[in-house]
Structure 1
């Protein structure tokens, strides 16, 4: 199989997943992965197909494989880090979720989705202060609500120490 055929098969599998035909996509991606075992993009799409089907435990090795390899776009790498961290959280592997998501936030500090999922995983590990801090900082930085924007400085201040008073 050449690269052109690989690209066509991958696009077809992604289309199936987006059309709600995730099991068909998964089967095609597993076959494609057998032909291209070191292909990070194929591994990422295979992980995603497993996640969509609720097969989180089966998705983990594909996420790990795609993150170990090269060839993911920046956007797909962000998605893979979020997917792996979220999947670990769903599986109850909260410390591992925090580790993966923290690494994702370090790599992509501007990614609000990664910070949000990290906050959820931190909550699950009992790190409530850091979880709240992350969410308050994200709220202050991204909210379009005029009332939140009016109190942005105060929210950012309190995010650092929820026990503080002005």
Structure 2
């Protein structure tokens, strides 16, 4: 019954019937409080409705429990960190993204969201550096990969013009 109910609620969310999906998932989560997959889906539907504060405990339960596949576990870290950021809980967001990156090193999505949290914390240099590294690690950097990677660590570096050069 749990599996059927969960699949049905997810289908409702995917079809845009999020309020009904939320009602079913909250009920399902209360019947299965230790179920990480149910908690994750319940968090997701809350987020999709703009109910970020209500999503947090479900994301936390999902990450604390066992049973999430890798894709959903990554989604839970991304969702929780992003939710913390939207709520103005920037330090919590940063910590969540770092925990996620400990499990999923190099994930471009987590690093990109982490850059946003760094910016929100006034650490824009680190944010830009993080984004430059994401770009350098992608297949989009092309022939500029080496330069982008260099400036990720030397963002504020300048070269002084010589006496014969014009600025």
**TM-score after normalising by structure 1:** 0.92
Larger Rg, first or second structure (1 or 2): 2
In the alignment, structure 1 segments of 5+ residues that lack a partner are none
Aligned pair partner of 2:15 in 3, 15, 19: 19
Partner secondary structure for residue 68 of structure 2:
coil
Match of 2:163 in 1: none
1:15-68 residue CA offsets vs partner (Å, 9 max, x unmatched):
000111111100000111111111000000000000000000000000001111
Partner secondary structure for residue 50 of structure 2:
coil
Paired with 1:100 and 1:133, the residues of 2 have a C-alpha distance of: 19
1:93-116 residue CA offsets vs partner (Å, 9 max, x unmatched):
011111101111221113111110
Paired with 1:40 and 1:82, the residues of 2 have a C-alpha distance of: 15
Paired with 2:2 and 2:37, the residues of 1 have a C-alpha distance of: 11
Match of 2:114 in 1: 118
In the alignment, structure 2 segments of 5+ residues that lack a partner are 160-167
Aligned pair partner of 2:99 in 90, 100, 103: 103
Compare the two structures and name the one with the higher helix fraction.
1
Paired with 2:57 and 2:85, the residues of 1 have a C-alpha distance of: 15
Match of 2:143 in 1: 150
Paired with 2:62 and 2:88, the residues of 1 have a C-alpha distance of: 22
The reply on whether 1:161 has 2:131 as its aligned counterpart is: no
Superposition RMSD on alpha carbons, in Å? 1.1
How far did 1:165 drift? 4.8
Paired with 1:139 and 1:54, the residues of 2 have a C-alpha distance of: 30
Match of 1:140 in 2: 136
Match of 2:34 in 1: 38
Partner secondary structure for residue 16 of structure 2:
coil
Match of 2:125 in 1: 129
Q: Which runs of 4+ in 1 moved over 4 A?
A: none
How far did 1:82 drift? 0.5
In the TM superposition, 1:64-83 aligns within 5 A as: 64-83=60-79
Paired with 2:93 and 2:39, the residues of 1 have a C-alpha distance of: 19
1:131-161 residue CA offsets vs partner (Å, 9 max, x unmatched):
11110011112143xxx41111011011012
